[in-house]
């Protein structure tokens, strides 16, 4: 592989046509006195000497000049040859494990094709290898090892139903160094598309698999309580360029409840609604044979138990009404104890004094907690909400325009995520250490938020995100569930597999759920279900090559096994110029075949 | 003399004589056969005795056998006129070694041979007209004068053979061998001049002197060739096709000259300045018939 440190110099190759043109142009004629032009005048009619352009004759000198200039320009571009096989360069192979890699437009599938390419690459190179699986949380699946180990790991690798954080995977790959080496490894990424990369993609080799974009999938399944049952909303996305008629089947605990057939225009999302009676797991399925099957099914829940909410602090009528509107179940306790907290899925702290929080899910209004990575440094009056994160699940469909706040805490977060802010953070979310929390810097008594339609939506989103209801999450996400007094829980995946989870810091941290379907966590006497669905972005399966940039010179370190060949090119250019000069000296006075056609120097004609 | 011909070379010329295709009537007794019948030594014919004939030429043996008087006739050996017609136009003096120097040496050698054998030798230097004329004289004493005249030749002016020849043939009444030494690069052509010489009963011998550069041009590149005589200009790209076309035109011109000379009974010899002068005089001109 040849790389150019200064590829801009290659533009100088444009001088080659100019040289050819100069050869064809007639130069300014140099006056030359001769004894007589009598014979030249007789040849004039045969020669096209008046044209500004003459024929381009085969010229060894021209060829040598072109070669010399080409060599010189290539030398200016500072080419270097990477001899990976000879140098045993360290290589990190990043394999995309996202759900879209299961598409079968490249037989047998994108993932299997990528895996085969990766194995071929490993077998064609030498040096230590590392394999990184780029799932929702990229991880090193095989540390530095030899070729056989890398092939073995690749053969065991499987795709997930979740997304791929390719950017994080590349960052992870770039940070790796094999033992005894201080050079950046070669990074090869096998994927089917990537968005903008935060990391500089210079020097990273992308191998993109995928051929088609035609795909239909369910990008969202939403259930809402409705009189007499549950309202089911299914969003069907057609990522292709042709309209598709898809049959949709919705079943409840395996019983077919709804069958619809709808036509989805290209690059459009169509919404199909229906109602079901009863409680249980809902499965919406598109009966269509497309290249990606995993996104044809989506899961949710109907009529499942509402979240149990415990309010601690000053009572608030608006809060009570909003909780009633979202059908949350209120928990009333006489005294706040750890046992009392176990009875609630979500605990709302309304303007309470800051106290350390045990593991659990919390909505804090006008207060903070010492064990949260956020501190309150005084108060701010009349803040204005200037921006908020509409993409976060807590603020989805929430409009905070015209919301007035009289007074709020001056929050200073040291982690987590700011969801809304003015001159100070106003709504902040955190998930970690067994605690999932949403903090509003203001209490309901200091704002008119409760008078806006946004409040019940915000409350519903917060309760759902805080895990107070039967969770419907995207594949690849993790869930934290309060452990209460239980120390052990069992996690059942859709295929029937069981994993045992141990409580840490009073919570069960359910790892990334990479398989779409209904997962069940059983702890103590209770059980909680999670509907895991394929992320909506995975339905867009059009392959794309990430933007690349030329390798930066800074990537070449002192021991980088790149062999510069520009000195050889300089030598070649000089040699060619010497040959050209020598030939020019020799050929300048020579005229082709004139000696052979020279008549005898002495001719004798005797008149008859 | 030393600048033109070496003494050692002159000694080689002592045994040579000039030959002419035709017989001319000379003025004095010379060393070559003349059209006149008289007091020579070479028997030519008989004729009947007439009153007044010299008794010494009566063939008495015939009279004894036939009883009739016959007079023996002998070819008169007379001198001839040698006109060395040297082209001194500017084109003759252009390159080095110049064609004019070469022509002067050839003329000197021929003149020396002629004077050595009692021929009358004159020199005519011409460009567009006779610029310097040394009338034909005989005698070895004229050698120095001849060489002096040839040594002072300078190339200048444009060449016009017809005008020069017309003027000369109408000035001289001495017909004889006319040796034209020229590059024949006459803008107005060479034919009329030579025809004029033939018409006035001269015996022309053409020595065509060229330089190697005129045979095969050595220059290269895009040039504007300027004729040093006429200042006319022609644009030429000295590449393969141009040189090939030049070669064709050159060969055609030579063939044209040769055809003309054959048709008009003119001896013609072409040479270049790179041919050694000794070889030209001692070998090629002897083979060509001008010298024996």
State the nearest Cα–Cα gap between A581 and chain B, in angstroms: 16
d(CA A248, CA A227): 23
C-beta neighbour count of A62 within 10 angstroms: 16
Mutate to test the interface with B, among A26, A30, A34 (most CBs of B within 10 A): A34
Classify strands A216-226 and A229-238 as parallel, antiparallel or unpaired: antiparallel
| Per-residue pLDDT, B242 | 83
Considering only residues A2 and A250, tell me which one the structure prediction assigns the higher pLDDT: A250
A483 assigned to some structural domain: no
Give the one of B218, B228, B280 whose C-beta lies nearest to A589's C-beta.
Answer: B218
- Work out the average pLDDT over B138-148: 86
Tell me whether strands B42-48 and B70-78 are parallel, antiparallel or unpaired.
antiparallel
Whole-angstrom Cα distance, residue A140 to residue A131? 6
Tell which B residues from 191 to 220 touch A, by Cβ distance under 8 Å. 208, 211, 214-220
User: In angstroms, rounded to a whole number, what is the distance separating the alpha carbons of residues A338 and A485?
Assistant: 9
Say how far apart CA A261 and CA A249 lie, in whole Å. Answer: 9
CB B139, CB B74: distance < 8 Å: no
pLDDT in the model for residue A79:
86
Establish if A586 touches chain B: CB-CB under 8 angstroms. Answer: no
Residue A85 has what pLDDT? 45
> Is residue A503 assigned to a domain?
no
- pLDDT at position A340 is 74
Whether A47 contacts chain B with CB within 8 A? yes
Asked whether the beta carbons of residue A39 and residue B214 sit closer than 8 angstroms, the reply is yes
Give the residue from B211, B201, B196 showing the smallest Cα distance to B98: B211
Any domain includes A180:
yes
* Residue A291 belongs to domain with CATH number: 2.60.40.10
Give the pLDDT score at A591.
46
Provide the shortest C-alpha distance from residue B216 to chain A (in Å): 6
Radius of gyration of chain A (CA): 37
Same domain, A96 and A196: yes
Q: Is the pLDDT of residue A558 over 70?
A: no
Lowest mean pLDDT among A136-145, A274-283, A460-469: A460-469
Whether A125 maps to a domain, the answer reads yes
Give the CA distances from residue A500 to residues A50, A471, A477, A483, in Å, rounded to whole numbers and listed in that order: 94, 19, 18, 13
Q: Domain locations in chain B? A: 7-23+79-288, 29-78
Residue A411 maps to which CATH number?
A: 3.40.50.880
Indicate whether A341 and A457 sit together in one domain.
yes
Report residue B104's pLDDT band, with 50, 70 and 90 as the boundaries.
very high
Buried b (16+ CB within 10 A) or exposed e, B160-180: bbbbbbbebbeebebbbbbbb
Q: Does A603 touch chain B (CB under 8 A)?
A: yes
Given this model, what pLDDT does residue A226 score?
A: 74
- Give the pairing type, strands A517-523 and A526-533: antiparallel
**DSSP label at residue B280:** I
Decide if A601 is inside a domain: no
Q: What is the mean pLDDT of residues A300-316?
A: 80
Question: For residue A554, is pLDDT > 50?
Answer: no
- Please tell me which residue of chain B has the smallest CA distance to A606: B267
Strands, DSSP E only, in B1-48?
29-38, 42-48
Regarding whether A59 and A100 lie in a shared domain, the answer is no
**Domain encompassing residue A12:** 2-80+565-593
Buried b or exposed e, range A140-158, using 16+ CB within 10 angstroms: bbbebbebebbbebbeebe
| pLDDT mean across residues, chain B | 84
Query: pLDDT-based confidence at A106, cuts 50/70/90?
Result: confident
- Whole-number percent of chain A with pLDDT over 90: 17
* HEC string for A141-210: EEEEECHHHHHHHHHHCCCCCCCCCHHHHHHHHHCCCCCCCCCCCEEEEEECCCCCCCCCCCCEEEEECC
pLDDT at A560 over 60: no
Read off the pLDDT of residues B201-210 as tens digits, 9 standing for 90 and up.
888 999 999 9
Higher pLDDT, A212 or A261: A261
Residue of A35, A39, A49 with shortest CB distance to B250? A39
pLDDT above 70: residue B34: no
- Is B225 an interface residue toward A (CB < 8 Å)? yes
- The distance of A67 to chain B (nearest Cα, Å) reads 23
Q: Phi and psi dihedrals of A7, rounded to 5? A: -65, -20
Tens digits of per-residue pLDDT, A26-47?
A: 667 788 888 888 888 888 666 6
Do residue A282 and residue A404 come from a single domain? no
pLDDT at A351 over 60: yes
The pLDDT, as a whole number, for residue A409 is 93
Domain boundary among A436, A469, A502: A469
Most confident region among A405-409, B52-56, B174-178 by mean pLDDT: A405-409
pLDDT average, residue stretch B220-226: 83
B228 inside 8 A of chain A by CB: yes
pLDDT mean over A228-239: 87
Res B239 pLDDT > 80: no
Q: Count chain A–chain B contacts defined by CB atoms under 8 A.
A: 172
If one compares A138 and A179, the residue with the highest pLDDT of the two is A138
Shortest distance, CA B249 to any CA of chain A (angstroms)? 6
What residue has token string 């001008």? Answer: B290
Q: What is the 3-state composition of chain B as percent helix, strand, coil, each rounded to the nearest 5?
A: 35, 30, 35
Using a CB–CB cutoff of 8 Å, tell me whether B268 touches chain A.
yes
In the predicted structure, residue A606 carries a pLDDT above the cut 60: no
Comparing B155 with A526, which gets the higher pLDDT? B155
Whether pLDDT at A156 is above 60? yes
Q: What is the Cα–Cα distance from A323 to A311, expressed in whole angstroms?
A: 10
Q: Hey, is the C-beta of A602 within 8 angstroms of any chain B C-beta?
A: yes
- Give A421's pLDDT tier (boundaries 50, 70, 90): very high
**Position A607 confidence tier, pLDDT thresholds 50, 70, 90:** very low
The overall average pLDDT reported for chain A is 81
User: Could you give the CA distance from residue A170 to residue A204 in angstroms, rounded to a whole number?
Assistant: 9
Domain boundary among A439, A469, A499: A469
Same-domain check for residues A354 and A427: yes
**ipTM for the complex shown:** 0.78
pLDDT of residue A592: 44
A-chain residues near B217 (CB < 8 A) = 591
| Judgement on whether residues A130 and A30 belong to the same structural domain of the protein | no
**Are A439 and A383 in a shared domain?**
yes
**Tokens 């995946």 sit at which residue?**
A493
Q: Residue A360 in contact with residue A341, Cβ under 8 Å?
A: yes
State whether residue B282 sits within 8 Å of chain A by CB: no
B219–A32 C-beta distance less than 8 A = yes
Beta bridge partners of B77: B33
Tell me the residues of chain B between 5 and 34 that have a Cβ less than 8 Å away from chain A.
Answer: 21
- Residue A594 confidence (pLDDT): 42
Q: Are A36 and B91 a contacting pair at CB < 8 A?
A: yes
Chain A contact present for B185, CB below 8 A: yes
Within 8 A of B223 by CB-CB distance, chain A residues are 29-32
Distance CA A272, CA A284 (A): 11
Confidence tier at A605 by pLDDT (50, 70, 90): low
> Distance from B133 to chain A by nearest Cα, in Å?
24
Give the model's confidence band at A608: pLDDT under 50 very low, under 70 low, under 90 confident, else very high. very low
CB–CB contact B246 A39 (8 Å): yes
Look at A394 and A307; give whichever has higher pLDDT. Answer: A394
Q: Cβ–Cβ of A36/B218 closer than 8 Å?
A: no
Q: Which chain A residues are closer than 8 Å to B249 by Cβ?
A: 39-40, 42-43
B53 burial type by CB count under 10 A (0-12 exposed, 13-18 middle, 19+ buried): middle
State whether residue B119 sits within 8 Å of chain A by CB: no
For residue A597, which residues of chain B lie inside 8 Å, CB to CB? 244, 247, 251
Burial class of residue A190 in the structure, from the number of CB atoms within 10 Å of its CB (0-12 exposed, 13-18 middle, 19+ buried): buried
Contact B233 A37 (CB under 8 A): yes
Kindly state whether residues A262 and A356 are assigned to the same domain: no
Mean pLDDT confidence for B121-130: 92
pLDDT at residue B75, as a whole number: 61
**pTM of the entire structure?**
0.45
Higher pLDDT, A586 or B136: B136
Q: Considering only CB atoms, which chain A residues are within 8 Å of B235?
A: 29, 49-50
DSSP H or E segment with residue A298: strand A297-302
How far A41 CA lies from chain B's nearest CA (Å)? 7
The three-state DSSP-derived secondary structure of A570-595 is: HHHHHHHHHHHHHHHHHHCCCCCCHH
- Strand residues in A353-506 grouped as ranges (E): 360-365, 374-381, 387-388, 407-413, 417-421, 425-432, 435-440, 471-474, 479-482, 488-492, 498-502
From chain A, pick out residues whose CB is under 8 angstroms from the CB of B161.
Answer: none
Cβ A169 vs Cβ A138: under 8 Å: yes
Å between B52 CA and nearest CA of chain A: 42
Does A43 lie at the interface with B, CB-CB under 8 angstroms?
Answer: yes
- Number of separate domains in chain A: 4
Does the pLDDT value for residue A337 go beyond 90? no
Are A461 and A320 in a shared domain? yes
> Nearest Cα to B23, choosing from B156, B177, B132?
B177
Return the structure tokens found at B83: 């006109």
Cβ A161 vs Cβ A183: under 8 Å: no
Is residue A465 assigned to a domain?
Answer: yes
Cis-peptide into A108, omega within 30 deg? yes
Flag whether pLDDT at A545 surpasses 50. Answer: yes
Subunit contact A36:B267, Cβ cutoff 8 A? no
Please give the pLDDT value at position A567.
Answer: 87
Residues from chain B that touch A36, judged by Cβ atoms under 8 A, are 91, 183, 185, 187, 214, 227, 229
A602 contacts B280? CB cut-off 8 A: yes
Q: Tell me if chain A has a CB within 8 Å of the CB of B61.
A: no
- The alpha-carbon gap from A598 to the nearest alpha carbon of chain B, in Å, equals 7
- Angle between helices A317-325 and A454-465 in degrees, nearest 10: 70
B-contacting residues of A 319-358, CB under 8 Å? none
Cβ <8 Å between A591 and B243? yes
Strands A417-421 and A425-432: antiparallel
CATH number for the domain that contains residue A110: 3.40.50.410
Q: Which residues lie closer than 8 Å to B106 by C-beta, 6 or more apart?
A: B181, B207, B209, B277, B280, B281
Residue B42 has pLDDT above 70, yes or no: no
CB contact B97 to A (< 8 Å): no
Same domain, A341 and A272: no
Write out chain B residues lying below 8 Å of A595, CB-based: 216
Distance between B8 CA and the closest CA of chain A, angstroms = 24
B93 confidence band (pLDDT: 50, 70, 90)? confident
Q: What is the dihedral of CA B232, B237, B240, B244, to 10 degrees?
A: -20
CATH homologous superfamily, domain B7-23+79-288 = von Willebrand factor, type A domain (3.40.50.410)
Does residue A291 share a domain with residue A147? no
Tokens at A343, concatenated: 């009875």
Q: Is residue A502 part of a domain?
A: no
Residues with Cβ within 8 Å of residue A48, at least 6 apart in sequence: A54
In a domain, A14, yes or no: yes
Beta bridge partners of A489: A501, A523
Record: contact A607-B229, CB cut-off 8 A: no
Question: What SS3 state is found at B267?
Answer: strand
CB within 8 A of A348, min separation 6: which ones? A309, A310, A311, A312, A313, A319, A362, A363, A364, A365
Give the containing element (helix H, strand E) for B208.
Answer: strand B203-210
Decide if B236 and A38 are in contact by the 8 Å CB cutoff.
Answer: no
Contacts of B155 in chain A (CB under 8 A): none
For position A482, what pLDDT does the model report? 65
**Phi and psi, residue A127, nearest 5°:** 110, 170
Is the domain of A323 the same as that of A387?
yes
Chain B partners within 8 Å of A35 (Cβ): 90-92, 94-95, 99, 183, 185, 211, 214, 227-229
Tell me if A297 sits within 8 A of A283, measured CB to CB: yes
- Other C-beta atoms within 10 Å of B3: how many? 12
């Amino acid at each position: 592989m040849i790389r150019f440190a200064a590829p801009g110099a290659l533009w100088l190759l444009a001088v080659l046509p100019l040289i050819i043109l100069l050869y064809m142009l007639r130069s300014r004629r140099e006056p030359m006195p001769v004894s007589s032009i009598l014979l030249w005048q007789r040849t004039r009619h045969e020669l096209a000497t008046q044209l500004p352009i003459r024929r381009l004759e085969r010229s060894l000198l021209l060829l040598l000049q072109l070669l010399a200039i080409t060599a010189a320009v290539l030398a200016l571009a500072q080419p270097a040859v990477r001899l990976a096989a000879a140098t045993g360069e360290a290589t990190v192979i990043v394999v995309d494990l996202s759900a879209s890699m299961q598409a079968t437009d490249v037989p047998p599938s994108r993932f299997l094709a990528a895996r085969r390419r990766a194995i071929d690459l490993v077998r064609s190179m030498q040096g230590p290898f590392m394999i990184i699986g780029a799932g929702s949380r990229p991880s090193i699946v095989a540390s530095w090892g030899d070729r056989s180990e890398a092939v073995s790991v690749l053969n065991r690798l499987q795709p997930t139903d979740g997304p791929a954080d390719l950017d994080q995977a590349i960052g992870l790959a770039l940070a790796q160094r094999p033992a005894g080496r201080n050079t950046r490894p070669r990074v090869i990424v096998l994927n089917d598309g990537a968005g903008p990369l935060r990391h500089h993609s210079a020097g990273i080799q992308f191998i993109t698999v995928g051929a088609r974009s035609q795909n239909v999938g369910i990008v969202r399944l939403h259930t809402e309580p409705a009189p007499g049952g549950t309202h089911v909303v299914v969003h069907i996305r057609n990522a292709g360029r042709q309209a598709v008629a898809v049959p949709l089947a919705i079943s409840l605990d395996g019983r077919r409840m709804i069958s619809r057939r709808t036509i989805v225009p290209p690059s459009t999302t169509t919404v199909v609604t229906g109602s079901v009676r009863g409680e249980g797991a809902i499965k919406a399925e598109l009966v269509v044979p497309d290249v990606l099957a995993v996104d044809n099914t989506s899961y949710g829940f109907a009529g499942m138990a509402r979240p149990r909410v415990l309010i601690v602090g000053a009572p608030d009528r608006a809060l009570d009404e909003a909780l009633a509107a979202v059908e949350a179940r209120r928990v009333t306790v006489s005294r706040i104890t750890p046992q009392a907290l176990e009875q609630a899925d979500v605990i709302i702290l309304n303007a309470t004094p800051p106290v350390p929080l045990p593991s659990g899910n919390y909505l804090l209004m006008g207060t903070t907690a010492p064990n949260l990575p956020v501190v309150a440094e005084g108060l701010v009056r009349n803040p204005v909400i200037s921006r908020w994160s509409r993409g976060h699940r807590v603020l989805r469909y929430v409009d905070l325009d015209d919301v007035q706040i009289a007074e709020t805490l001056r929050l200073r977060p040291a982690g987590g995520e700011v969801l809304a802010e003015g001159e100070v953070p106003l709504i902040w979310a955190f998930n970690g250490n067994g605690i999932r929390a949403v903090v509003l810097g203001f209490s309901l008594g200091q704002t008119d938020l409760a008078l806006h339609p946004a409040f019940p939506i915000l409350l519903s989103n917060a309760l759902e995100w805080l895990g107070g209801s039967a969770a419907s999450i995207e594949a690849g996400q993790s869930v934290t569930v309060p452990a209460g007094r239980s120390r052990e829980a069992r996690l059942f995946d859709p295929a029937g597999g069981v994993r045992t989870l141990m409580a840490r810091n009073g919570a069960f941290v359910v790892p990334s759920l990479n398989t779409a379907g209904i997962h069940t966590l059983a702890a103590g006497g209770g059980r909680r279900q999670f509907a895991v669905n394929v992320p909506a972005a995975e339905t867009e399966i059009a392959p794309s090559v990430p933007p690349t940039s030329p390798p930066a010179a800074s990537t070449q370190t002192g021991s980088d096994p790149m062999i510069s060949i520009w000195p050889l090119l300089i030598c070649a250019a000089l040699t060619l110029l010497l040959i050209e000069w020598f030939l020019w000296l020799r050929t300048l006075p020579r005229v082709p075949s004139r000696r052979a056609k020279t008549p005898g120097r002495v001719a004798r004609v005797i008149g008859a | 003399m030393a600048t033109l011909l070496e003494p050692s070379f002159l000694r080689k010329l002592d045994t040579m004589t000039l030959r002419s295709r035709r017989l001319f009537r000379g003025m004095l007794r010379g060393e070559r056969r003349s059209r006149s019948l008289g007091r020579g030594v070479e028997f030519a014919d008989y004729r009947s005795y007439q009153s007044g004939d010299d008794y010494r030429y009566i063939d008495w043996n015939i009279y004894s056998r036939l009883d009739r008087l016959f007079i023996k006739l002998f070819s008169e050996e007379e001198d001839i006129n040698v006109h060395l017609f040297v082209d001194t136009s500017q084109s003759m003096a252009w390159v080095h070694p110049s064609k004019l120097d070469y022509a002067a040496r050839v003329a000197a050698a021929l003149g020396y041979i002629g004077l050595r054998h009692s021929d009358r030798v004159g020199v005519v230097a011409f460009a567009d007209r006779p610029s310097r004329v040394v009338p034909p004289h005989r005698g070895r004493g004229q050698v120095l004068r001849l060489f002096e005249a040839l040594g002072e030749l300078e190339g200048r002016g444009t060449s016009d053979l017809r005008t020069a020849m017309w003027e000369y043939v109408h000035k001289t009444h001495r017909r004889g061998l006319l040796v034209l030494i020229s590059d024949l690069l006459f803008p107005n052509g060479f034919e009329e001049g030579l025809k004029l010489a033939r018409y006035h009963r001269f015996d022309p011998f053409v020595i065509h002197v060229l330089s190697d550069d005129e045979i095969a041009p050595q220059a290269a590149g895009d040039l504007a060739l300027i004729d040093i005589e006429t200042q006319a200009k022609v644009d030429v790209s000295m590449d393969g096709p141009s040189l090939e076309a030049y070669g064709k035109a050159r060969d055609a011109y030579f063939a044209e000259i040769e055809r003309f000379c054959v048709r008009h009974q003119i001896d013609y010899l072409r040479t270049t300045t790179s041919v050694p002068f000794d070889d030209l005089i001692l070998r090629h001109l002897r083979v060509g018939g001008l010298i024996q």
